[in-house]
Amino acid sequence: MHFKSVASVVILAAAVIGFFVTQSPQANAGEITVYTSLEEPEIADYLAAARKDMPDLKVNVLRMSTGDLGARILSEASHPRYDVIWGWALTNMMDPRIQALLVPYQPKGLQRMPAQFRDAGGKWFAPTGYMAALCVNTDRLKRKGLPMPTGWSDLLNPAYKGEVVMPNPASSGTGYLQVVSILQGMGGEKGWDFLKHLNVNVAQYAKSGSRPCNMASTGEYAVGASSAIVAMEAVKQGYPVKMVIPKEGAGYELEANALVAASTHKHDAERFLDWTISDSAVKLYGKYKEIVGIAGVRHSADETAVGLPADVKKVLFPMNFKQSMETRSQTLARWQREIEHH
Amino acid sequence: MSTERLPLIASLQTRWQLGKKQTEFLVAVVAILPLALFVLYPLWTILRESVLRPDGRWSLDYYARYMQDSHFRETLFNTLNVSIWATLATTAIAFGYAYALRRTKVPGKMLWHSVMLLPLFAPSLIQALGVQFILGRNGIVNRYLGTDIDIYGFWGILLANVLYGLPHAYLVLSVSLGAADARLYEAAKLLGAGGFKRFLSVTLPTARYGVLSAIFLGFAINISEFGNPMVLGGDYNVLATEIYNQVAGQANFHLGAVIGVLLLFPVLLSVAAEKWIGRRQATISSQATPYRPVRNWRIDGPMLLFLGTVALAIVAVVGVVVVASFTKLWPYNLGFTLKHYALDVPGGYGALWVSLKMSLATAVIGMVVATFAAMVVHKLSSRLRQVLYLLSVVPAAVPGMVLGLGYVLAFNNPSLPVYWLYGTVALLSLCTVYHYHAQAFLIATTGLKQVDSRLQEASHTLGGGALHTARHVTLPLIRPAMASIGMFYFMHSMVTISALIFLVSPEVTPAAVSILLLNDAGNWPQAAAFATIIMFTIAAVVLGIKALAHGAALLHKRQNHS
């Protein structure tokens, strides 16, 4: 009895100590840590290609949603332990507290990118982006006898009352870009008027950007405003869903890359950043991305099959990211006051 | 009660020639230190944002600004409204459930008990999806009954929170109702008290501490839980989702911290309540004869119906998602398929190993830490008792996001001696241990409250050493409570996510995070498939441990006989 209890205490202690000793090391030479908000399936594809091009470089990736990653980056700001921010919403990256963590770097081949896709100061460049899109459940449309909408203004039709879901701009970046594109597109007060009218038909403002489309997929609501990438995924999975790019022009967000000032593996980090605009990367962007900041990219047959226009740039609304970042808190405060709580 | 000496203290006193005050102080410090490091310090690093202006000066500006907002009053009202109702419902249902299992002779107790634990180890995504699939606008009920129910908002949050809170309250109440003195019931009967009178004058007073703990836990969990309102809340804003808006949506830590501080208020109420009730708790005396329920179908019948209804609700919500994970395209094509079980996340099911390792460590560390804290609080007389109690229950009111970010701010600091923990599985474990410390602590305390201190005293007088008493008297008496704690920690840490999402590193990603990633990418069928695998893994591990323990006990018996 006595022996048994002593033995079990020893085993227990050994297990706990052994567990604590399994340390996770910081990245070694030839190894970098990357923070990203790109989607999981595309990340796997990009990394496989990167490994082929740079066999001596190990890329450790941490993926979090845009907002969560922002909170984490700010919390770690005193001692960043990663080297690169990869594919993160430009609006969030424009935050001066984030800019302070970055250091300018001009990757090889940057001149291939138009000016709107890179920072004049060299702190970020955005090879890809995503845009807003509506997920429309055709099954529910039929059951409720509703017409197929073609853009935001169609959704003012009283027939859609209680059938529209949008992301809440206060919690979701996708939601914010939708609101901003409407405000910037229609211009100031006219835009606010439009949002107020739209609000009459909106059943709820969901807390995440992908949720409206997910809800439309399972038939909870007829129309869910999300991003094109989520909409295409829903179509691909086989849901009775049609992707609609708003005819007024789709709001969009750029996914920016940047070098972290505190990086202890700058050389490897720079190699990786170079790679993100290399030919083999750009070739893959066509498979996943609606918006590519490098000329000459063809969208895959898959993408056009599910309703992506061949020339996306024509449907994009020309967004002003600097303004959208700077007016964020005022816009959201007014939105909460006049729209959400009304 | 609190003037008696803790056996451990007595032994320290004789060994090191310390005064009573000094030894108590020493033991209290040993118990408080880890809580200060892993609860107080991380909380402080993030909550001080609520009083720290960008220029580095202290002020209450953020509070003033937030409370003047009309938006704030509405959010506060919503939070209290839904939390109070959810707490009352949770406590009442959990009490009825625990009462039926502990004090009546209903058949199938093992089954009912297991079902009640299901929400603990069903990832929260599953429960929210389950409610949507059954009661959503395009849910089973509306589709097949032709009704037009819309649960998004108050009812959605209420339902999901009750479901989530039930096992937490049940575990405390089950320990509380587990011990009963048959003689009291006999006496009450002889004095002519009817069934209901006996319930009021015998059952409730002995369970008082457990009921209050369950109410506190329910309330604290309800106001700080943000997963359910995120999915089912619609536009019904509550404080916890408001934190998410501020911190993740707008990168505004200041206002997020203000709300985090507001959520701590119920904890202060709980400390006051604990002080008030601490001395009034009826305990099981050393002469107690265990209460053995007798078959009485007039009570067992309705109780069985009640258990069945609650269990059915729990199983249906989880079950519908498990079923959906095997269908081709829920709810449009219900054909059978296994395709969702081929995962699209790198590493696939490998993340399960990280989770298992983490959860076993969490269970062991948590069991020791929480029981120790409870034993010290139980016996301490000094003022430190209140401090230790406060630190022990405070995590219940802290939203996972606040605790997680607090851990990042606190431990990502090379000048700290425990910096090496940052980015390891160990820190994930510790974070989980302390995130759910209040639940474990209250289970242990409820167990201890019912143990007559005279038993320990007797052992001590009879010459049993301090360690002897602890091992042979105190520990065996609260062993059921400790087993509950270990089980609770293991199950819950397999699926918990809210705090950990901020602590994961590329090398260390638990399975629950993979579920979140899949769902974020709009692929809920695979998320549901992985969640199903996790639930079965947990069930298998728990059954395996039970079988081992049973086998060991049998072996032990046989050896003793030969």
| A214 with B524: Cβ contact below 8 A | yes
Quote the minimal CA–CA distance from A328 to chain B in Å: 8
* For range B132-143, the mean pLDDT: 94
Checking if the pLDDT of B211 tops 70, the result is: yes
| A107 φ/ψ angles, rounded to the nearest 5 degrees | -70, 155
Q: What is the mean pLDDT of chain A?
A: 88
Residues A99 and A155 in one domain: no
| A71 with B508: Cβ contact below 8 A | no
Residues A286 and A325 in one domain: no
Checking if the pLDDT of A29 tops 80, the result is: no
- As assigned by CATH, the class of the B7-282+290-561 domain is mainly alpha
Residues A295 and A256 in one domain: yes
Strand pairing category for A202-206 and A164-167: parallel
Is the CB of residue A268 less than 8 Å away from at least one CB of chain B?
A: no
Residue A12's pLDDT band (boundaries 50, 70, 90)?
Answer: low
| A20 with B424: Cβ contact below 8 A | yes
Is the CB of residue A142 less than 8 Å away from at least one CB of chain B?
A: no
**Rounded distance, CA B336 to CA B307, Å?**
31
Residues A175 and A324 in one domain: yes
| A331 φ/ψ angles, rounded to the nearest 5 degrees | -60, -45
pTM for this model (two decimals): 0.90
Is the CB of residue A31 less than 8 Å away from at least one CB of chain B?
A: no
Nearest CB to A24; choose among B138, B234, B507: B507
Domain ranges in chain B are 7-282+290-561
How much is the pLDDT for B149? 92
Strand pairing category for A84-89 and A31-36: parallel
Q: Does residue A19 lie in a domain region?
A: no
How much is the pLDDT for A1? 39
| B412 with A214: Cβ contact below 8 A | no
Kindly tell me the sign of the dihedral angle through the C-alpha atoms of A90, A96, A101, A104.
positive
Residues A154 and A194 in one domain: yes
Is the CB of residue A328 less than 8 Å away from at least one CB of chain B?
A: yes
- Contact, A116 vs A292, CB < 8 A? no
Q: Which of B497, B418, B544, B389 is nearest to B124 (CA)?
A: B497
B286-334: per-residue pLDDT in tens? 667 777 888 888 889 999 999 999 999 999 999 999 999 999 999 999 9
Residues A172 and A239 in one domain: yes
Residues of A in contact with B405 (CB under 8 A): 71-72, 75
Nearest CB to A20; choose among B250, B426, B507: B426
How much is the pLDDT for B4? 47
Checking if the pLDDT of A322 tops 90, the result is: no
Structural element, H or E, at residue B439: helix B437-449
Nearest CB to B235; choose among A26, A92, A204: A204
How much is the pLDDT for A3? 47
- Which residues 274-313 on chain A approach chain B with CB closer than 8 angstroms? none
Residues of B in contact with A219 (CB under 8 A): 137-138, 331-332
Residues A329 and A301 in one domain: no
Checking if the pLDDT of B477 tops 90, the result is: no
B331: nearest CA partner in chain A: A218
Q: Which of B69, B78, B138 is best to mutate for the A interface (most A CBs within 10 A)?
A: B138
How much is the pLDDT for A92? 92
- Contact, A174 vs A37, CB < 8 A? no
- Contact, B520 vs A210, CB < 8 A? yes
CATH code of the domain covering residue A71 = 3.40.190.10
Check residues B464 and B112 and name the one with the higher pLDDT: B112
List for chain A the helix, strand, coil content (%; round to 5): 50, 20, 35
The alpha helices in A119-259, defined as continuous H runs, are 138-144, 173-186, 188-201, 211-217, 228-237
| A15 with B507: Cβ contact below 8 A | no
- Contact, B116 vs B484, CB < 8 A? no
**Rounded distance, CA B8 to CA B24, Å?**
10
How much is the pLDDT for B1? 36
Start-to-end CA span in chain A (Å): 70
Residues of A in contact with B137 (CB under 8 A): 219-221
Q: What is the mean pLDDT of chain B?
A: 88
Quote the minimal CA–CA distance from B228 to chain A in Å: 11
Is the CB of residue A68 less than 8 Å away from at least one CB of chain B?
A: yes
Residues A259 and A247 in one domain: no
| B525 with A40: Cβ contact below 8 A | no
Check residues A337 and A107 and name the one with the higher pLDDT: A107
Is the CB of residue A64 less than 8 Å away from at least one CB of chain B?
A: yes
Q: Does residue A11 lie in a domain region?
A: no
Checking if the pLDDT of A82 tops 90, the result is: yes
Residues of B in contact with A332 (CB under 8 A): 250
How much is the pLDDT for A28? 65
Residue A198 is part of which domain span?
131-251+316-340
* For range B463-486, the mean pLDDT: 77
The dihedral region occupied by B146, where left means phi > 0, alpha psi between -120 and 50, and beta the remainder, is left
| B364 with A15: Cβ contact below 8 A | yes
Residues A111 and A196 in one domain: no
- Which residues 196-235 on chain A approach chain B with CB closer than 8 angstroms? 203-205, 207-208, 210-211, 213-214, 217-221, 230, 233-234
**Rounded distance, CA A205 to CA B104, Å?**
47
Is the CB of residue A263 less than 8 Å away from at least one CB of chain B?
A: no
A65: nearest CA partner in chain B: B520
Checking if the pLDDT of B131 tops 90, the result is: yes
| B249 with A237: Cβ contact below 8 A | no
Residues A266 and A197 in one domain: no
| A172 with B251: Cβ contact below 8 A | no
- Contact, B426 vs B280, CB < 8 A? no
ipTM above 0.90, yes or no: no
How much is the pLDDT for B266? 84
Checking if the pLDDT of B271 tops 90, the result is: no
Is the CB of residue A339 less than 8 Å away from at least one CB of chain B?
A: no
Q: Does residue A13 lie in a domain region?
A: no
| Tokens of residue A294, six digits | 């490098």
